[in-house]
Structure 1
Amino acid sequence: MTLGRQCRVSLVVQDRSASSIYIPQQHLDTPDGSIAPALHQLLKKTALTFTHTGTNAIAVIARSEEVDEGGNAKLLPAEEITVTGRNLTGSHLRHLKLDSYAPIDVLAQPELEITGAQTVAELLKFLPAVSGNSTSTSVTNGGNGTATVTLRGLPASNTLVLINGRRIVNNGFGGEAADLNTIPLSAVDRIEVLKDGASAVYGSDAIAGVVNIILRREFDGLSLNSYYGQAERGDQQTQSYSVTWGAGDEERHLMFSLAHYRQGEIFSRDRDLSASADNRSRGGTDLRSSASPQGYIALSDGVVSKRGDGYTPWTTEDLYNFREQTSALVPSEKQSLYIAGSHRLSDTVATYAELMAVRTRAESTMAATPVFTRFDNGDLTIAADQVYNPFGEEITDVRKRVLELGPRVQYNSTDTWRLNSGLKGDAGDWQWELTAAAHYTEARERLTNLIDPLRLSAGLKGSDICNVESNCVPINLLGTPGSIDGEQLDFIRGENRVNGASRMASLTYIADGPLGRNHAGDILAAAGVEVRREAIDFNSTDINGLSLIGGIASGSAQGMRLIGEAFGEISLPLKADTLWLDGAIRYSDYSDFGNTANPKLALRWRPIPSLLVRASYATGFKAPTLVDMNQTGYQSQEFLFDPCTNSNATSLPGCSGRADQARIQYLTEFGGNPDLQPETSDNRSLGIVWTPGDYTGFHTSLDLFEIRQNDVIDTSPQYLINENATNGLFGDRVIRDARGDITRIVATRLNIGAREVRGIDASLRYQHQSRKLGLLRWSMNGSHMASYLNQLAPGSPIEDLSGTFADSASGGAGSLPEWKANTGVYWQRGRWEAGYTVHYVSDLQESFTVNDQYVTRKIDSWSTHDLQVAYGMPSGYRFAVGIDNLLDEAPPFAASAFNDNFDARTYDLTGRYWYTTFSFTM
């Protein structure tokens, strides 16, 4: 193992082959940095040899007694063993081979280095199975400093994130999903992505799949790493530094890792694609805001704006380009500490502990606060006798961008602590583990330069209400930009703060081993119990449940639940080395909604040694989050479309007339529902894996998958608006005034939706080793979404969203490409290594309204090329240079994307990006 660490190779040994062989300590030569000469020297007098099993992975195996035509000993195929000796994600069983019943993407440490990624979220973003509405620091308006992963286009709450195979606490902003920003990549050994439902094994949330992040535990030595990168256009300056140290022996081991990461910003105005919200020249619409610095002032005889010394008629050219102020990529930073220790108490029992502390900070910039007096909270009518009202009439509709306040700045911070400790041991052929965990995360958000609606209301009234005696300052919403002076700003300025905390404590016991033996082989089994307590405490500084103007009212939620679970697995061989039947079941009892049981069955068949056919069926569930069940007082200005703004509004049953066409945001109230039930699912898969022995290093797989999901928890205000306008429904939830304009939407969470996702996963890998070329590997990984059937509510139409884009800001599912793939060539010879990767996203369709016409347009396909070259010096130093997006391909334009004219959750705005890494290991 020491040799593997020194040569930066994952070296695994087949226990039964090496257990009886003694090799004395000796000096081994690696003149060109390759491990091959050293292994030949080490194993030349033994019955062992070695073979490459993956990128920078070598297995030491027994020599075959058979010989080929030339009289040379044939090599037995390597038994695939996970590097750390742990069970593969998706099962608690220890299979002799990694014959998984479902496709799994494994990103090991050498592969992590060659990508140049510096965060877990960045690494997962371009995986083929990832699509939909994840969050990240690429999202400004709608982001909160967290990062999530969304498999199969399902919400992030449908993908379970584990650390070392154990559940972790969800983020502090509502606890919907785990925050990937709280997991430092420097502490990661590998990442396993199970692309199949796994509620029978892990419980709630594992509907779309599981992301299992395996941390480094057994590192020996000292490793120092530094990284610097910058976009070719001079922004997004990013740095990271880490130090990892470990030492120990067979009895005890200790390691720690310290890391610092900082990402620079990109402003919307600094990229051609995102600089303007007016997209008419690109075939889109004009998304500029009617709340302009000059003002939109609706009088009894028309609409005017203030220019210079007078008022002129308002035109669409007065719309405001808010992208002049917004950030496109959020500057962020992260500091982390990770400590792992173990101590062997006896020959059969060991204890261990892991502590992780992570601090994250992010700062996003949004355009200055807009005021919509007719549609914002409070009575914002400007009195006829208000001191700044020259018109002598009451004014109800003024739309004003208050540039004097400065841009809105959102500060997000998160502090996370995770402590896992336990005992593990052997009892004959069985292994057992008892784990106790305590996780806590606290999140804070501060949004500045907002407007207090109650103070603004008072400041817009006459002198009988707003005067010196009442400590009121009159506000001038009808003047030119700059007319709101410092005293007025101090009177109306507001700031919203949100604080949230999520806690989780758990106790888990698992045992696995051979249950017995039948005519076909060992019957493997695993069983366990888990007790878990989850709690949230979430609140914001709202004004009696009303949102500040320019912000949202996050409301509050307090809740706690107790969960008890029991689970079991079995692998039954039906025919020796040919046919296996696997089963699992998990029973879960929740204190707040009841209980559920979820089984899984899988069949694995090897008709010939090189071919594996696999099939599985499972049920799954996602428990409603504590915020889903307990939140109150959540208000937001949502980006929605009202069919009543079309020219045919008078023919629609729910429209009393044509509504205001200039509006794109609507005040929406969300709320929890204590009567929610779990979302449920059925998962089916069928696949083949081919590893022909005639082509050493060749591996290919093809898997069909289907996910059917019911009782989906949804709060779709767009669905409510559509049904209200076109069918006259939900009149108690879509509130309109006498002119037919929406004043408020009430969207309480309900179990009303259904989904069905079908597709194909395909992978291919080939590697070749020779003295002349070194180690050369080519791989391809792709995912095809054949259909994504979505029904918002019973009786509503079923839509196929596959190959479409609908922005999450309007309640859409995001980008759901039919094809997403990557392919790459990776090379290593001696001390040199290089990688070239291509990422691909197929074209999409989007629909939106232009001049009262509902149109569909194509969003172009997109591909990027990444390159890295590295050199490792004999003294332990490693230097690498990389280029991401080598051809400087801009993301494809999306007319219906609210943030920066493209989908930041799927594509990257940076352009060509250069980076260097420098490390030292001893």
Structure 2
Amino acid sequence: MKPLSPARLVLAIHASLLLSLSGLAAAQDAPAQAPEARTLDTVTVTGTRIKKAELESQVPVQVLTREDIDRSGFTSVADIVQNLTASGAALNTKFNSSGNFGFPPDGGGVGAGAATVDLRHLGAKRVLVLVDGVRWVNESSASGVGSSVDLNTIPLSIIDRIEVLEDGASSIYGSDAIAGVVNIITRRSIDGAKLDFNYGEYDDLKGGETYGADLGWGGSTDRVQWFLGASYYKQKQIVSSEYGPARVPVPGTGLANGSSATPQGRLVFQDPDTGTVYDITPNTGAGDPQFDPGQAGCERTDDFHCFATADRFNFAPYNLLLTPSERKSVFGQVRFDFTPTFSGHAKVLYNQRESANQAAAEPIFLGTDAGVYNDYAERTLVISALNPYNPFGFDLTTEGDDANLFLLGRRPVEGGPRRYRQEVKTWYASVGVEGVFDVATRPWSWDASVAFSRSRAEQVNTGSYNIRRINEALGDPAACAAIAGCVPLNLFGGEGTITPEMLAFIQPLVRDQSENKLSLFTANLTGDLFEMWAGPLSFAAGYEYRKYEGSYTPDPITVAGEYNGVPSGATSGDYDVSELYLEFSVPLMRDGWLGKSLDLSLAGRYSDYSTFGGESTGKLGLRWQVADELLLRGSFAQGFRAPSIGELYGTLARFDATLTDPCNNEASTTPQCVAEGVPAGYEQSNPQISVVTSGNADLQPETSRSLMLGAVWSPSFASDVSWSDRLDIGVTFYKHTIEDAIQARDAQTILNRCIGTRDPESCSFYDRNPVSGQIIRFDDILDNLGTIKTDGWDFNVGWTLPGSDWGRLRFDWKNTWVGHYELVNESGLAEPRRPGRELNNSAIPEWTSTLVTDWALGPWSVAWTVRHIDRLTESCGGANGFDICDDSANDLNTLPATTYHDLQVSWQSTAWMKGVRVSAGVNNLTGKDPPICLSCTLNGYDASTYDLPGRFWYARLGFDF
């Protein structure tokens, strides 16, 4: 379908408005009638702006009711939606996402403490999150300008239901709705007051306790509805040392993937007098090591020995398996009917999140091979021969032609672990009016609203270092003495030799800030235009204006290039968009030879962006009710996603990617590596290689095409019979194609392609040190690259059995099969991400399934949920030869299929006060551990796909007043 031109779309909207005016004129000519009550039997369903009484539309919308939410046992919105079978990898509080994770290419930062949602494995930034049909502000975690919503800003207690549209909807909602829409519907009112308490803990892990309380009060009169709520939630941390596979960098490989920045220190340098190159580390306990320049080999009798795998540092136990999080929120909304046909509403929310991440003591890397993109570390460093702790008797320098310090790696454990503490404050306020009126006896509805939201974050980082001050403390002691607080620094003596006075000079307190703002105005009009042969022609039309503002302000020492950790630049930008949309619902047939009904839906939207201009999208849908028991439906939609502030304006930053150099060890002598200048016996210094990333102001929108075909069958032979009250069977085929996808090239693929094919373009992205062979520069900037294609099937069965003396039994079975997923890069080659594959801390299982069995009898109910994740494979990634790699011949490791069992027992009664509710349950009843993952960068498993190891027990108590 060709995009709707702006002129045609505007003309169509003008035509609909003219029709509405003519209808108003007709209504004015008609005899005056007394006002009637508002039409309350029409509702807006996610996926359409047209209000209907009929809920089963052209697109599949999965509705999670309040009952479904309570039955899950989860305590956050993210946990609920991330366990949908159509969900993909997304941030959650199991991601300890600071430290060496660096800054992703999209400029969004690491999102520490945030939780997002991904649908169809297309990424969180391609899912639109709405609250009561209105866009929510993007996340802010003080590490960048995020392009997706942090679901932790929306307390679970204020939610009435969650509607998930698993289909493209840019023509209805605009940018970002490529993979689907999550619409969170809040509670408008309750009768009286509610007080709920919850507590949960893990039985096999120390820590991780969660507890919270929710208070709600509401009511309604003939003209007013109101709801006020307050929530408190706290989750304690679990350290990685609590779980066996998380106690090593990569399970089953020992220290092979450990860090060369050790508490003892690693030194790779050249003696300027003899030309001998050393790769050595002090002997443990040497304290003030003595060096003998006459011993050039590894058989040494001084206080040094050659660095080997056994010397590498195990950073894993210092990480977190579960990050701490504390959230406080207040929420209120009121709706007032001024007349039976005119009402207004107001809504406010304040949410505060305090969270933390932790990593091992920050490594200090110095030298020409450090690869940290910092002049103080790589190009302007001189460790003076006069430094009292320098055991070599000559300068170690990275300056110019005399550079002889290739690498100094030191892990100053004396300064403690890195700790990142975030405080995020989110405000939201909106007011609006709405009404209904008759146009030639046909009811029309209108609404208009304004909203403002802001998410502001501050992160305080302790345990990091100032690289400029490290330089000063390593230099000439006389120059150091002239600087206030400076004392000579000892990086040569091993653990315990960095004194508190040294730390006081080189260890700063790092403060970063970020902010996202969203201001919007929207106006909508919907109703029936006129009667056709098969029913009324319905329409919706509207206008929306949005302004996005975002900024990320690193600490001044980071901006000045003095931060020893992951460097980044400041980001600031804004843009606005004006949009017009028009939607029609066209009845084609009623009770004819083709069946019960046939309806066509048409939608178009034009968006005018201040950053790149105009974009138009369209959508076509068909709903065919063949019979009372059989519904067929399909849709074709165009979509787009505008580049975000971080993607457009993000400045140069560093991402420490975990990469395997194809020329490592034995591969160094292959012709391809020799041609690249890699020396024989080359060994990659660290598994993490620094990659420079940046936004791109010339980015254009991503565009997409989505196809959905489905059927819902409710057989009459299974309705109101002895063995069945109702049986619903649904099947949906989906297909998404995204072109000009905004992304950076996959760094590992670039390396592999350069070495494998000597492709000049791929080889131009990085440089090596001509002497050591280490990768010292890697640039990877955002661009509109490649194409993403995916398709698959959803299959759902809902079966309710008749009530009896034994109670009422219900089954709800949902399944998703991913048939195809392909990411084609800028060279036309497929990237390794595909169904059944684990890659970069995320997976695309071919099959995911959830079966809920719900039994109720009187005040009692029992829910048993089975969650299944299909088997996966991953590349051993250089782990060949280790027993953990179960298919060494093909360089593959298998993550077996995993099934979780959740059980909940509930009791409720109205015998005391207005009601009492008690629930107790356990998630992961069998204590299933997640499969070990070699390619996952932290804790030995994929935190976006699997539960934490062990059982989680919880209890809830609720009172109604």
Does the alignment reach a TM-score above 0.5?
A: yes
Q: 1:692 corresponds to which residue? A: 715
Task: Please state how far the C-alpha of 1:257 moved relative to its aligned partner.
Answer: 0.3
Question: Is this contact kept in 1: 2:96–2:319, CA < 8 A?
Answer: no
* Inter-partner Cα distance in structure 2 for 1:140 and 1:865: 28
Is 1:825 aligned to residue 853 of structure 2? yes
* Inter-partner Cα distance in structure 2 for 1:791 and 1:178: 27
Q: 1:671 corresponds to which residue? A: 694
Cα distance change, pair 790–262 in 1 and its aligned pair in 2 (3 A): same
Is 1:128 aligned to residue 124 of structure 2? no
Q: 2:295 corresponds to which residue? A: none
1:245-273 CA-partner distances (Å, limit 9, x unpaired): 00220211222000000011111100123
Is 1:860 aligned to residue 870 of structure 2? no
Identity of aligned residues (%): 31
Q: 1:872 corresponds to which residue? A: 908
* Inter-partner Cα distance in structure 1 for 2:604 and 2:355: 41
Is 1:630 aligned to residue 630 of structure 2? no
Ranges in structure 1 where 5+ consecutive residues have no aligned partner: 1-81, 809-813
Q: 1:387 corresponds to which residue? A: 388
Q: 1:896 corresponds to which residue? A: 935
Cα distance change, pair 826–469 in 1 and its aligned pair in 2 (3 A): closer
1:692-749 CA-partner distances (Å, limit 9, x unpaired): 1232321111111110011111123334444444424355541322233222222221
1:847-885 CA-partner distances (Å, limit 9, x unpaired): 112359871221111111110101112221111111111
* Structure 2 letter corresponding to 1:718: Q
Task: Please state how far the C-alpha of 1:518 moved relative to its aligned partner.
Answer: 1.2
* Inter-partner Cα distance in structure 2 for 1:359 and 1:83: 35
Cα distance change, pair 782–641 in 1 and its aligned pair in 2 (3 A): same
Q: 2:705 corresponds to which residue? A: 682
Higher relative contact order (CA 8 A, sep 6+): 2
Q: 2:159 corresponds to which residue? A: 188
1:601-616 paired onto structure 2 within 5 Å = 601-616=620-635
Is 1:790 aligned to residue 823 of structure 2? yes
* Inter-partner Cα distance in structure 1 for 2:717 and 2:321: 51
Tell me the SS of whatever aligns to 1:498: strand
Cα distance change, pair 88–386 in 1 and its aligned pair in 2 (3 A): same
Is 1:164 aligned to residue 132 of structure 2? yes
Task: Please state how far the C-alpha of 1:450 moved relative to its aligned partner.
Answer: 0.8
Question: Is this contact kept in 2: 1:708–1:757, CA < 8 A?
Answer: yes
* Inter-partner Cα distance in structure 2 for 1:868 and 1:851: 43
* Inter-partner Cα distance in structure 2 for 1:350 and 1:691: 38
Task: Please state how far the C-alpha of 1:278 moved relative to its aligned partner.
Answer: 4.6
Q: 2:281 corresponds to which residue? A: 304
Task: Please state how far the C-alpha of 1:516 moved relative to its aligned partner.
Answer: 1.5
Pick aligned residue for 2:945 from 887, 897, 906: 906
Q: 2:316 corresponds to which residue? A: 323
* Inter-partner Cα distance in structure 2 for 1:136 and 1:625: 24
Cα distance change, pair 400–664 in 1 and its aligned pair in 2 (3 A): same
* Inter-partner Cα distance in structure 2 for 1:84 and 1:420: 25
Cα distance change, pair 725–494 in 1 and its aligned pair in 2 (3 A): farther
* Structure 1 letter corresponding to 2:933: A
* Inter-partner Cα distance in structure 2 for 1:327 and 1:688: 45
Q: 2:236 corresponds to which residue? A: 264
* Structure 2 letter corresponding to 1:705: Y
Is 1:370 aligned to residue 366 of structure 2? no
Q: 2:737 corresponds to which residue? A: 708
Deviates more, 1:851-860 or 1:391-400: 851-860
Tell me the SS of whatever aligns to 1:456: helix
Q: 2:926 corresponds to which residue? A: 887
Tell me the SS of whatever aligns to 1:748: coil
Task: Please state how far the C-alpha of 1:490 moved relative to its aligned partner.
Answer: 1.1
Pick aligned residue for 2:216 from 244, 255, 259: 244
Q: 1:484 corresponds to which residue? A: 498
* Inter-partner Cα distance in structure 2 for 1:384 and 1:218: 75
Cα distance change, pair 251–470 in 1 and its aligned pair in 2 (3 A): closer
* Inter-partner Cα distance in structure 2 for 1:862 and 1:508: 45
1:43-62 paired onto structure 2 within 5 Å = none
Task: Please state how far the C-alpha of 1:285 moved relative to its aligned partner.
Answer: 7.9
Task: Please state how far the C-alpha of 1:352 moved relative to its aligned partner.
Answer: 0.5
Task: Please state how far the C-alpha of 1:184 moved relative to its aligned partner.
Answer: 0.2
TM-score by length of 1: 0.87
* Structure 2 letter corresponding to 1:714: Q
Cα distance change, pair 246–302 in 1 and its aligned pair in 2 (3 A): closer
Task: Please state how far the C-alpha of 1:311 moved relative to its aligned partner.
Answer: 2.5
Question: Is this contact kept in 2: 1:532–1:562, CA < 8 A?
Answer: yes
Deviates more, 1:504-513 or 1:850-859: 850-859
* Inter-partner Cα distance in structure 1 for 2:488 and 2:755: 39
Pick aligned residue for 1:289 from 242, 247, 259: 259
Tell me the SS of whatever aligns to 1:835: strand
Tell me the SS of whatever aligns to 1:113: helix
Is 1:103 aligned to residue 60 of structure 2? yes
Tell me the SS of whatever aligns to 2:461: strand
Is 1:594 aligned to residue 613 of structure 2? yes
Task: Please state how far the C-alpha of 1:188 moved relative to its aligned partner.
Answer: 0.4
* Inter-partner Cα distance in structure 2 for 1:211 and 1:351: 25
* Inter-partner Cα distance in structure 1 for 2:41 and 2:855: 24
* Structure 2 letter corresponding to 1:197: G
Q: 2:190 corresponds to which residue? A: 219
TM-score by length of 2: 0.84
Q: 1:197 corresponds to which residue? A: 168
Question: Is this contact kept in 1: 2:874–2:893, CA < 8 A?
Answer: yes
* Inter-partner Cα distance in structure 1 for 2:558 and 2:667: 39
Task: Please state how far the C-alpha of 1:644 moved relative to its aligned partner.
Answer: 3.1
Pick aligned residue for 1:460 from 474, 478, 498: 474
1:815-850 CA-partner distances (Å, limit 9, x unpaired): 111111110101122111111001111111111123
* Structure 1 letter corresponding to 2:239: F
1:532-551 paired onto structure 2 within 5 Å = 532-541=546-555, 543=557, 545=559, 551=565
Q: 1:552 corresponds to which residue? A: 566
Q: 2:414 corresponds to which residue? A: 404
Is 1:313 aligned to residue 306 of structure 2? yes
Tell me the SS of whatever aligns to 2:761: coil
* Inter-partner Cα distance in structure 2 for 1:880 and 1:405: 45
Relative to its length, the structure with more strand (as a share) is 1
Cα distance change, pair 622–313 in 1 and its aligned pair in 2 (3 A): same
Tell me the SS of whatever aligns to 2:383: coil
Is 1:280 aligned to residue 256 of structure 2? no
Tell me the SS of whatever aligns to 1:850: coil
Q: 2:788 corresponds to which residue? A: 755
Deviates more, 1:887-896 or 1:246-255: 246-255
| Cα RMSD (Å) | 2.1
Pick aligned residue for 1:422 from 412, 432, 457: 432
Question: Is this contact kept in 2: 1:542–1:554, CA < 8 A?
Answer: no
Ranges in structure 2 where 5+ consecutive residues have no aligned partner: 1-38, 102-109, 270-276, 287-302, 397-404, 591-595, 720-725, 882-887
Is 1:777 aligned to residue 748 of structure 2? no
* Inter-partner Cα distance in structure 2 for 1:612 and 1:418: 40
Task: Please state how far the C-alpha of 1:784 moved relative to its aligned partner.
Answer: 0.7
* Structure 2 letter corresponding to 1:403: V
* Inter-partner Cα distance in structure 1 for 2:476 and 2:948: 49
* Structure 2 letter corresponding to 1:664: P
Cα distance change, pair 355–470 in 1 and its aligned pair in 2 (3 A): closer
Is 1:765 aligned to residue 801 of structure 2? no
* Inter-partner Cα distance in structure 1 for 2:124 and 2:660: 25
* Structure 2 letter corresponding to 1:807: N
Question: Is this contact kept in 2: 1:279–1:286, CA < 8 A?
Answer: no
Tell me the SS of whatever aligns to 1:510: strand
* Inter-partner Cα distance in structure 2 for 1:192 and 1:262: 26
